[in-house]
Structure 1
Amino acid sequence: MTQIFAHRLIVADPGLTSVSGHHAAVLDVLNCEALLEQNVKVEVWHSKGADETVTKLVEDKKAASKQFFSAAFYNYIFEPARLKDQQRQIKTLVSEYQTLLLLSGDSGRNSVLFHTMDWYHLWALSLAAKWAFKASGKLPNIILLLMFNPLNQTSKYHTAPLYGIACKVLSGFEQVKIFAGDYETSIEVSSLIGVDRLPLHPCLVVSDVNVASIESYTSKSKSLLLYCGDAKANKGFNELPHLLEQLIGRVSSIDSGEIELVIHYTNLSSDIELQETEQKLDQIAYKFDKLRLIKGFIPEAQMATLISSSSAMLMNYDEKVYQHKSSGMVWLAAIYNTPLICLTDTWVNREAARLGLSHIHTQPFLLHQAIEGMFGSGVMPSRYYKNIFRPFSCWLSNQL
């Protein structure tokens, strides 16, 4: 007999194309199994370009998988797009968002979660919502999570006004709830749309299970996590071989094996420079057995163990790209009480301060001097910390 659910939640995720990175990690945070216990059916509508490993991941998380989106979610950010190409991509996303909204039903028993939204996605969704409402006179509940700060310029065009206009249009629908992912995004978007302060949603990097069991992650080893996550040039991946040259032979506790160096990364890119860096790291690890390389996407529990057991984590993000761009790695470091060594001055430093996370800012050539001083420090949770680390699925169920 077909089960009848009290509520239906569609997670609209055109960016879910592979089992790696932020979009795959969000599935852990959703805690679909807990939502099912509350009689909420979860469906994940993702990219048509996703392979069977994505379908398996979604279904393993107790959600229904649907290949739906053909629009490129990120190409406009990472590749210089001509205005005509950008308009074509937005038009495709508008059409697909509109179809999704029309198929979702009314707000009585149906909700759609849109996460990781930037101006491009917001602009498309604002048009889709207007046209869907005009066509049918109804909309599902829309839960909108803003990850990108309007000040984070992802194209050569000044897009903050478009971000603000789209949010104003969407906030005009009673079915729409808008939340910001961090303090700075809340401040900027609130200013653009003329409200006192957008509320924050809990961070999308730690599931309810791991938030509830943080005390179990207390054992620290003498290790320095030099990199963690998807291999990206703007996160300092290509600078790792040079940093290793500065550390090996210059820090006695590293050479003696007292401190282990650890690098985790996932590289699904065809970028030649990233591939060359990967080869260099393999060569260094072959010669220096105190360097541990962990390759490929790892599940949340393994990521928790990796970060929580590290004595410190290195952050070497591009100052221009990450001046107003958030990173989930900071939240992971905070929740698992792992201090940061920052080689650049970005949003990362400011967020660490707001969270009460121990961090220092130093220059690459002084890295060897900074390492020893970081061991033993940690986090002093702030009020902001407690707001960010509320259990996500519990919060989400209250929005349905």
Structure 2
Amino acid sequence: MVEVSSHNKIVVLDPGLEGRSGHHYALYEAAQKRVGSDLGNVEIKFYARKNSAGEFDFFEDIFVAEHFDSKLYQFYQSRPTVGEAHRYTSQLAEEYYRAMLCEVVVNESIGERRVTFLYPAVKWEHLAAIGIAISELESFDKKNIEIKHKICLMYNPGIDFDGNLFSVEEFLGYRIAAKYLSIREDVFFYVSDYELSVQYKDVFQRKLKIHPCYLFDFSSISRRSMSFSSGGERKIGLYHGDAKREKGFLELPRALESILPQLSTEDRIYIQYTLNNSDLSLNNTADKIKHIAENDQRVVLVDEFLSGESLMCQISELSEYIFLYDSAHYENKSSGIAWLVGYFKCPSTTIGSSWISRELKRLGVPLRVAPSVASISLTENLHQSFIKKEDYELRSIMYDDFWFGVGILAERN
């Protein structure tokens, strides 16, 4: 039994919510499943990017305001210059502030209220903008409104797994951006995984709390039975999510060429992706995959968005998952699919070692590490991952209820 806390309204400020895919939509979808049930009468509102009305489904219990002009991932592929960072941060801060002010004014007219602002997938430039916006809000008389800010940090602050500094720019960006916010009593920080909880100690001079994974409604799994794989046939997951180079999408034809000869006629390989850009290589690869699937019934292809619930069902039925992710790119980067695979402890193969292989081991997943796509062998023994006491604690945190984990729900009876 979960009791709703005294918070009256949750406001998610997310410039990254602009389409029906990715982890931003996953949070939106997961929120919808909780509104009207465990969240009771708590109102929830999302501020998304402008011009996104036709890009995703609207849920009647959640209001979405198209608000942000700024792109959350403006500098995803490259570091900004000092001038670019200043301009971006200033504009984003103004957009955050206008959203906050709107909520303060609206809730002030209603009477005494408690408002929680939630910020998913924050990097240092967003952190700096949030700090400016909150400081500007100080000049406004908030009267009887109690405000809390919950900030979710998902990206590496420039420190590797061994504790070495590999990006001075990233590290200083976080240190400077966090200086003001870290001393405020109304601001609460969370990180998305174990390694970040260790790495951010050098930024905040204290260990930050890990928030439960918000990409999937794991609580729904306990409320219904999942149909796990049975029988002699193998069901192998090879790709799920947005089509991206770093996730190994371009390697799919080569992977199929390597894996299919190892399978029987009853075995199946599952591939699901969304592709919404004009990248020529990605589109050419998609055509190749479709051609292979049309000529081989063992390849089950879904080239459209899957809901979180449908994705959970498919992963639960797999006998093995193969991660084609680029190990260099994911050396210090997390993956939502890894957390989902980890929940079911689905035996897995990774190409090289990275955050993904380390996290799967922590979550108790039987694992093999292949040196390359061409060398993937389904007959090679899997190495059992032995879970330590602290890893059991990690599993309990990662797969707990997100809304409870960040203090939006009260203690459970």
- Structure 1: which amino acid aligns with 2:73? Y
Match of 2:123 in 1: 118
Partner of 1:51: 53
SS of the aligned residue for 2:185 comes to coil
**What is the CA-CA distance between 1:284 and the residue it aligns to?**
1.5
Matches of residues 9-48 of structure 1 in structure 2 within 5 Å?
9-30=10-31, 31-34=33-36, 37-48=39-50
How much does 1:34 deviate?
Answer: 4.3
SS of 1:361's partner is strand
Which amino acid in the other structure matches residue 158 of structure 2? Answer: L
Asked whether the equivalents of residues 312 and 374 of structure 1 are also in contact (C-alpha less than 8 Å), the reply is no
| Alignment match, 1:130 | 135
255, 279, 289: which one aligns with 1:243: 255
Contact 1:224/1:262 (<8 A) preserved? yes
User: Which residue number corresponds to residue 264 of structure 1?
Assistant: 272
Contact kept? 2:368, 2:381, Cα under 8 Å = no
In the TM superposition, residue 226 of structure 1 has moved relative to its aligned partner by 0.9
Instruction: Pick closer, same or farther for the CA change 1:379–1:157 going to 2, 3 Å.
Output: closer
Determine the C-alpha separation between the residues in 1 that align with 2:327 and 2:128: 27
Instruction: Give the structure 1 partner of residue 398 of structure 2.
Output: 388
For residues 68-93 of structure 1, give each alpha carbon's deviation from its aligned partner in whole angstroms, at most 9, with x where no partner exists: 11101112103565554443222211
Q: How far, CA to CA, are the matches of 1:345 and 1:352 in structure 2?
A: 11
SS at match of 1:382: helix
Paired with 1:167 and 1:92, the residues of 2 have a C-alpha distance of 18
Asked if 1:348 is matched to 2:349, the reply is no
Distance 1:8 1:76 in 2: 31
Q: Distance in 1 between matches of 2:174 and 2:159?
A: 11
User: Are 2:244 and 1:232 aligned?
Assistant: yes
Two-structure CA RMSD over aligned residues (Å)? 2.8
Q: State the TM-score, normalizing by the size of structure 1.
A: 0.88
- Which SS does the other structure have where 2:75 is aligned? helix
Asked if the contact 1:16/1:24 (under 8 Å) is kept, the reply is yes
CA distance in structure 2 between the aligned counterparts of 1:245 and 1:370, rounded to whole angstroms:
13
Q: Give the drift of 1:157.
A: 7.2
Distance in 2, matches of 1:242 and 1:137, equals 59
Aligned counterpart, 1:174: 185
Q: Which of 319, 328, 338 does residue 336 from structure 2 map onto?
A: 328
Alignment of 1:1-400 (within 5 A): 7-30=8-31, 31-34=33-36, 37-54=39-56, 57-60=57-60, 62-78=61-77, 83-105=82-104, 108-136=113-141, 140-151=147-158, 158-195=169-206, 197-213=207-223, 215-220=225-230, 222-249=234-261, 251=262, 254=263, 256-364=264-372, 367-371=375-379, 373=381, 382-396=392-406, 397-398=408-409
CA distances 1:229-266 after superposition (whole Å, capped 9, x unpaired): 110000100011111122233x1xx1x31321111111
Cα distance in 2 between the residues matched to 1:354 and 1:6: 34
Contact 2:259 2:376 in 1 (8 A): yes
Cα contact 2:48–2:65 (8 A) shared by 1? yes
In the superposition, the TM-score normalised over structure 2's length comes to 0.85
Q: Cα–Cα, structure 1 residues 204 and 43, in superposed 2: closer, same or farther, change >3 Å?
A: same
Aligned to 2:3: none
Deviation string for 1:291-340 (max 9, x for gaps)?
11111111112101111111111112222321111111111001123122
Distance 2:36 2:347 in 1: 32
Distance 1:37 1:365, change over 3 A: closer
Residue type of the alignment partner of 2:18: T
Q: Give yes or no for contact 1:308–1:337 (8 Å, CA) kept in 2.
A: no
Superposed displacement of residue 214, structure 1: 7.0
Q: 1:318 to 1:369 in 2, by over 3 A?
A: closer
CA contact (8 A) 1:339 1:378 kept: no
Aligned partners of 2:65, 2:38: CA distance in 1, in Å?
18
Inter-CA distance 399–127: structure 2 relative to 1 (3 Å threshold)? farther
Tell which deviates more after alignment, 282-291 or 293-302: 282-291
Deviation at 1:28? 3.0
Query: Any unmatched runs of 5+ in structure 1?
Result: none
Q: Structure 2 counterpart of 1:357, which letter?
A: V
State whether residues 164 and 189 of structure 1, in contact with CA within 8 Å, keep that contact through their aligned partners in structure 2.
no
Residue identity (%): 25
Q: Between Structure 1 and Structure 2, which shows a larger proportion of helix residues?
A: 1
In structure 2, distance between residues paired with 1:285 and 1:208: 31
| Residues 44 and 58 (structure 1), Cα distance of their counterparts in 2 relative to 1, 3 Å cut | farther
Q: 2:325, 2:253 → 1: CA distance?
A: 15
| Structure-2 change in CA distance of 1:293 and 1:51 (3 Å) | same
Shift in alpha-carbon separation, 1:83–1:156, aligned structure 2, 3 A: farther
Counterpart code for 2:20: V
Q: Residue 364 of structure 1 aligns to a residue in which SS?
A: coil
Q: In the TM superposition, what is the alpha-carbon distance from 1:45 to its structure 2 partner? A: 0.8
Tell me if structure 2 keeps the 8 A contact 1:190–1:198. Answer: yes
Partner amino acid for 2:214? L
What letter corresponds to residue 144 of structure 1 in structure 2?
Answer: I
| Residues 223 and 311 in structure 1, CA contact (< 8 A), matched pair in contact too | yes
Mapped partners of 1:245, 1:208: distance in 2: 34
Q: 1:65: how far off?
A: 1.2
- Between stretches 282-291 and 364-373, larger displacement belongs to 364-373
Q: Distance in 2 between matches of 1:175 and 1:300?
A: 32
Q: What is the alpha-carbon distance in structure 2 between the residues aligned to residue 80 and residue 144 of structure 1?
A: 22
Q: Distance in 2 between matches of 1:309 and 1:148?
A: 30
CA distance in 1, matches of 2:66, 2:11: 12
CA distance in 2, matches of 1:372, 1:119: 42
Could you tell me how far 1:67 is from its partner in structure 2?
A: 0.6
